Amino acid sequence: MRLLTGNDLPTGDVVWWTGSGWSRHVEDAADVGQEGEAILRREEGARRVNVPYLIDAIATPDGPRPAHIKDRIRALGPTVRPDLTLRPADPAAGSWVI
Amino acid sequence: MYRYDQYDQAIVDARVDEFRDQVERRLSGQLSEDQFKPLRLMNGLYLQLHAYMLRVAIPYGTLDSRQMRMLAGIARDYDRGYGHFTTRQNLQFNWIKLADTPDILARLATVQMHAIQTSGNCIRNISADQYAGAAADEVADPRPWAELIRQWSTFHPEFSYLPRKFKFAVIAAEEDRAAMRLHDIGIRLVTRDGELGASIYVGGGMGRTPMISHLVRDFVGSDDLMSYLEACLRVYNRYGRRDNIYKARIKILLHEIGADEYRRQVEEEFLLVKQLGIDPPRAELERITAMFAPPAFDPAAPDAVDRSDPDFAVWLDQNVAAHKQPGYAIVNVSLKPIGGIPGDADADQIALLADLGAAYSFDELRVTHAQNIVLPHVAKRDLYAVWRRLTKAGLAEPNLDLITDIIACPGLDYCSLANARSIPLAQKIATRFADRQRELGELKLKISGCINACGHHHAGHIGILGVDKKGTENYQLSLGGSGAQDVSLAKITGPGFSEDGVVDAIERVTDRYLATREPGERFLDTYRRVGFEPFKDAIYG
Ligand code: HEM
Ligand code: SF4
């Protein structure tokens, strides 16, 4: 599957295109399929998300998982600071990243 | 320490106002990211993997307690409670919000700090020997010269769009603690016939094509310094390869035309520049130098130190260096706790360092290119008290220049250019070698997460470079580099390793060293004596 991702303009947070908007959780990401380029251009024009780009991902029962390690780390947060990830209370939250 | 005059303050304040307006226009959508990016980079604001990152300049690595406390406050109020000290003696905040940036810069400006020229193809923050003003082996304090260069290079219109970034380092001792020979221009202050002047080295650098600089002029007097540097930059600005980012640094120009031809052109240009009258009057250097006058040392400060606490004695031997003033010492504060993140310090630690600087070091602190902090002027009678407080805050790891005192760039945990993570590897290595580090002695290990070499891996006694091998992290090992006065570039050993594999390979290297070293030899000495092959055999044999 194909995902659209970028960084939120005011906060810099990593965000994922959900089909109707942007979410901080990769689990909410939608497969943009053939529409990717068009959504990317439209969102770039809206100027709310910085440098949006398309990536490959794998669909899993737990949600989409980016194919490249860089985007998996983006989805979670720094691997060396589990306390600063999106789910600091869950030690297994990043088990799929590396 | 240098204090801003009205001009310094005015340009920094004006820049904050200008950037505030630019940020507002970006947030409201008037500016696109393409338009805004160069503007934010001019103010040290990068976009990294997870957030904006703000790089704050610490000129020649020197700061006072008020400035250090401000950094702690910003970490607390605007970031997630910590900062990362870098190999260029700067500080990076990893979790900055765009809308907060003007306020952060405004607060920095109140303590004479900014983030100007911490990015882009301009002359970057000037780095210097962290022992400046304290080292017994210096001919003078290099910082007044560094400050003069800072003033000359700030907003220099001709050098705002160089072919590529440009980095200066200034030292004044035989021992090179600032990796001076690996900078675009390195300056060593020397004396000739009783006059202070500068030896100018040009064309060093790391990145994908590491090079050691060439001595271009052995003596430039203070009356000619600005003209000479102007000429050095002009020749580069004219011929530097703007067409090819990989060949754009001045090191490539020197490599291509040769140091002799570069020198000839600089000397020619110098004669023209000299007529422009850009060199400040001597009084200006004297005015600046007066601000770096030595603090009011107590001439009666006792030299003896009570070493009866064995843990304290270990720290004393490893982290405390000789001071030029009897009764005083230079304290190195390690930001490399075993298993910690090299160069990171949390807000409480930064605030504590500010307090210690105020109470025990005449209000001065330094950042080192090895990502540690220095308290430059501590009375020996206070060393035990300082050590106790550092210990409580987790800042007294006695590992200066040992294998666990690792330089590591942020790598793939933070950096958008990275191929592999640097920090977890540093943590594994430190943990593996913690109980052997003193036996191994001086061993500088440096890790970069990609070929840009921010972690100085080319200059590591042991260097590690993260590469991307079909989507997985892989690490290339190299041996024999040095960023010190015995400068050399490390040589790649061969095929790369996984994260655990590279830790094992380092163990084979250090085992071979222990088996072959002669009395008194550091790792680097043994390596230079026996050569590359025995170590290569140990790794792959
Ligand atoms: C996180 C954002 C960073 C980015 C985007 C970045 C980018 C780069 C790039 C592109 C280069 C290569 C320049 C060239 O060869 O022309 C470079 C070099 C360098 N960077 Fe960084 N860097 C970052 C962080 C750091 C950090 C955290 C440090 C210190 C730990 C650092 C210190 C250096 C040094 C010392 C060099 C080598 C200078 C040379 O080539 O002479 N950088 N950086
Ligand atoms: S060396 Fe590469 S990975 Fe490390 S900070 Fe520099 S650009 Fe990023």
Same domain, B433 and B382: no
Greater model confidence, B422 or A94: B422
Ligand (nearest to CA of B419): 2
**% of chain B surpassing 70 pLDDT:** 100
Residue B398 within any structural domain of the chain: no
What's the pLDDT tens digit per position in B420-461? 999 999 999 999 999 999 999 999 999 999 999 999 999 999
> Does position A91 have pLDDT exceeding 80, yes or no?
no
pTM of the model: 0.95
What's the pLDDT tens digit per position in A41-76? 999 999 999 999 999 999 999 999 999 999 999 999
Same domain, B323 and B384: yes
CATH of the domain at B504: 3.30.413.10
Q: Are strands B445-448 and B462-469 parallel, antiparallel or unpaired?
A: parallel
């899993």: which residue's tokens?
Answer: A60
Distance from CA of B336 to the nearest CA of A (A): 15
Specify whether the CB–CB gap between B143 and B169 falls below 8 A. Answer: no
Residue B123 within any structural domain of the chain: no
Residue B160 within any structural domain of the chain: yes
Mean pLDDT of B62-80: 98
pLDDT of residue B351: 98
Same domain, B385 and B411: no
Mean pLDDT of B399-428: 98
Residue B244 within any structural domain of the chain: yes
Task: State the total domains in chain B.
Answer: 4
Helix (H, G, I), strand (E, B) or coil at A7: strand
Same domain, B442 and B351: no
Determine the distance separating the centroid of ligand 1 and the alpha carbon of B117, expressed in angstroms: 13
* Distance between start and end Cα atoms, chain A: 20
Same domain, B147 and B262: yes
Specify whether the CB–CB gap between B216 and B261 falls below 8 A. Answer: no
What is the full DSSP assignment across B289-348? Answer: HHHTPPP---TT--------SHHHHHHHHHHEEE-SSTTEEEEEE----TTS-TTEEEHH
How far is residue B251's CA from residue B214's CA, in Å, rounded to a whole number? Answer: 9
Q: Which residue, of B392, B426, B448, is where some domain finishes? A: B392
pLDDT interval class at B244 (50, 70, 90): very high
Residue B330 within any structural domain of the chain: yes
Mean pLDDT of B52-63: 97
Tokens for B393, please give them.
């805050």
pLDDT interval class at A98 (50, 70, 90): confident
Same domain, B422 and B536: yes
pLDDT of residue A95: 87
What are the backbone dihedrals phi and psi of residue B398, each rounded to the nearest 5 degrees, phi first?
-85, 75
User: DSSP strand E in B323-409: where?
Assistant: 328-333, 344-346, 364-367, 373-379, 407-408
| Interface residue B308 vs chain A (CB under 8 A) | no
How far is residue B70's CA from residue B77's CA, in Å, rounded to a whole number? Answer: 10
Residue B115 within any structural domain of the chain: no
Contacting residues for B223 by C-beta, under 8 A, at least 6 apart? B279, B282
CA angle B337, B338, B341 (to 5 degrees): 60
Residue B302 within any structural domain of the chain: no
Per-residue burial over B514-528, b = 16 or more CB atoms within 10 Å of its CB, e = otherwise? eeebeeebbbbbbbe
Measured between alpha carbons, how far is residue B149 from residues B9, B21, B143, B242, B426 in Å?
Answer: 17, 29, 10, 24, 35
Q: Which helix (H) or strand (E) holds A82?
A: none
Same domain, B202 and B100: no
Residue B256 within any structural domain of the chain: yes
pLDDT of residue B471: 87
Q: Do A78 and B413 make contact, defined as CB atoms within 8 angstroms?
A: yes
Mean pLDDT of B332-340: 98
Determine the distance separating the centroid of ligand 1 and the alpha carbon of B513, expressed in angstroms: 31
CATH of the domain at B49: 3.90.480.20
- Write the residue with the smallest CA distance to atom 24 of ligand 1: B454
Distance from CA of A76 to the nearest CA of B (A): 9
Specify whether the CB–CB gap between B334 and B85 falls below 8 A. Answer: no
Same domain, B270 and B139: yes
ipTM of the complex: 0.96
Q: At what angle do helices B143-153 and B225-239 cross, to 10 degrees?
A: 50
pLDDT interval class at A86 (50, 70, 90): confident
Best residue of B32, B50, B336 to probe chain A, by most A CBs closer than 10 Å? B50
pLDDT interval class at B305 (50, 70, 90): very high
Q: Is the CB of B98 under 6 A from ligand 1?
A: no
pLDDT interval class at A88 (50, 70, 90): confident
What's the pLDDT tens digit per position in B156-168? 999 999 999 999 9
Q: Do B49 and A51 make contact, defined as CB atoms within 8 angstroms?
A: no
Same domain, B411 and B527: yes
Alpha-carbon Rg for chain B in angstroms: 23
What's the pLDDT tens digit per position in B455-502? 999 999 999 999 999 989 999 999 999 999 999 999 999 999 999 999
Q: Do B47 and A74 make contact, defined as CB atoms within 8 angstroms?
A: no
Q: Which residue, of B254, B289, B324, is where some domain finishes? A: B289
How far is residue B209's CA from residue B206's CA, in Å, rounded to a whole number? Answer: 6
Range of the domain at B419: 407-540
Give A57's contacts in chain B (Cβ within 8 Å).
none
Specify whether the CB–CB gap between A67 and A84 falls below 8 A. Answer: no
Same domain, B163 and B278: yes
3-state class percentages of chain A: helix first, strand second, coil last, to nearest 5: 30, 30, 40
Q: Which of B339, B323, B352 is nearest to B71 (CA)?
A: B352
> Does position B115 have pLDDT exceeding 80, yes or no?
yes
Q: Chain A interface residues facing chain B, Cβ-Cβ under 8 Å?
A: 7, 9-14, 46-48, 50-51, 67-70, 73-74, 77-81, 84
Same domain, B41 and B146: no
How far is residue B46's CA from residue B24's CA, in Å, rounded to a whole number? Answer: 17
pLDDT interval class at A93 (50, 70, 90): confident
How far is residue B541's CA from residue B518's CA, in Å, rounded to a whole number? Answer: 23
Distance from CA of B33 to the nearest CA of A (A): 7
Same domain, B96 and B161: no
Q: Which residue, of B360, B392, B424, is where some domain finishes? A: B392
